Structure 1
Amino acid sequence: MTRLEVFPVPPDLPVSPPGLRERRREQTNVEISETALTLFERNGVEATTVGQIAQTAGVSQRTFFRYFATKEEAALRDHWAFEAVVASGLDQLDPDISPRLALETSFAAALVTYSESSSVPCRRLLRVNRLIKQEPALRAVLARESVRRTVALVDVVSTRFDCSDLQIRLAVDVSIAVLRAALETWVDRSSSDESASLPEIYSTARGLARV
């Protein structure tokens, strides 16, 4: 399995200019996701059905399931996009440095996408992660996916570095933990400080993790 199969390119970063049909599909994808988020924020995940999301978005339930397997996945669309952005440099990890430093350097470069707090990617990421904090059902989906993606990330790193299994696993686990801590801190700070910077918080988190 390749890196792109594990961490698909997010809709906001197409690999080639999309045609009219693809643009329409992407617009429908965004509209369904936005509708799911709005209804979840208003009524909660448990009280919201796929039928309600589809009806409000102006599509059939059959169309909904062409885009998303579950209602939770629809709401998590922009979190998956964030993970794909973070993973965008995994094919260029530097094998001449430690695996942890290589991962952190790759993650830091990818987070430049989220440098501007008022940008669409930042606003979307904040919105979905605020909802994740409130909804156990969304956290459960992320927990299940994180196991699969961690295994995949270990496999990717293993192909690039001549290190022990333990060193690679520690590099992956620690790197992910630092990134997650930075993301959660950014979400919390942004509630009172709209200028909070995810890349800056991540840089600070990296330093603290090495103390």
Structure 2
Amino acid sequence: MDGDVPAGLRERRRLDTQLEIHEAALSLFEEQGLQATTVQQIADRAGISHRTFFRYFASKEQAALPGQRRLLRAFEGLEIDADGPGDVLRAIERMAIAAMEEERAGRLEEHRRITRLLAAEPALQAVAAGQELLLVEALHDRLAARLPEWPTTRARLVAEIAVVTWRTAWQRWGELAMQGEELEPADVFRECAADLRVIVG
């Protein structure tokens, strides 16, 4: 019974199944396009039931995207030791760089595949935009909890700026990767953050 399985093993199985569904969705979208692919096809390729698919993802589009889970987890652990907006943005920058540096080589190839799909499939772009809204809300909530003296508008602006910088860095990394340039995502993020400081001071 599943209740007899240690919690760590259950979590590993859950993550493995999630990854298998994600890989199946990516492969099918690459082979036959988003519109021609069904949830049942993804489930069949991943070796799971239609019902199991929906325990992990709400739609086939979501299955193709990583969901920014690593960044969401990083937000949950974000520590802030100053209350100036510039200092907070730099703390978020350090956290985002650490999250990017955790990516492995295989994951970077996955990001290249996702970049190509996003360029070809507007429906996936809409899902990605929705995920960014969730990131903004999560970071806003963390900032509000850690900096209760801040006006909510300030916390939201900082959250929006941080997420836009994250998205811009991945977009730029994707453009460079499509051109054959092998840069580290964290280095591209550092460049974007440096440009941001030039713009806002």
TM-score range, shorter chain: 0.7 to 0.9
Residues 114 and 122 in structure 1, CA contact (< 8 A), matched pair in contact too? no
* 1:54-203 to 2 correspondences below 5 Å: 54-76=43-65, 78-84=66-72, 86-87=74-75, 89-90=77-78, 92-94=79-81, 96-115=82-101, 119-161=105-147, 162-203=149-190
Is 2:197 the counterpart of 1:207? Answer: no
Matched with 2:18 is 29
Matched AA of 1:180: R
CA–CA separation in structure 1 for the residues paired with 2:98 and 2:162: 17
Letter matched to residue 187 of structure 1: G
Distance 1:55 1:136 in 2: 25
Tell me how far 1:185 sits from its aligned partner: 0.3
2:70–2:99 Cα contact (<8 Å) kept: no
Aligned to 2:3: none
Question: Matches of 2:73 and 2:136 in 1, distance apart?
Answer: 16
C-alpha separation in 1, matches of 2:61 and 2:197: 35
- Which structure: greater helix fraction? 2
Which consecutive unaligned segments of at least 5 residues does structure 1 have? 1-15
Task: Give distance in 1, aligned partners of 2:136 and 2:37.
Answer: 30
Per-residue deviation, 1:85:
5.0
TM-superposed CA distance for 1:100, in Å, is: 4.5
- Contact 2:118–2:125, Cα closer than 8 Å, also in 1: yes
How big is the shift at 1:50?
0.6
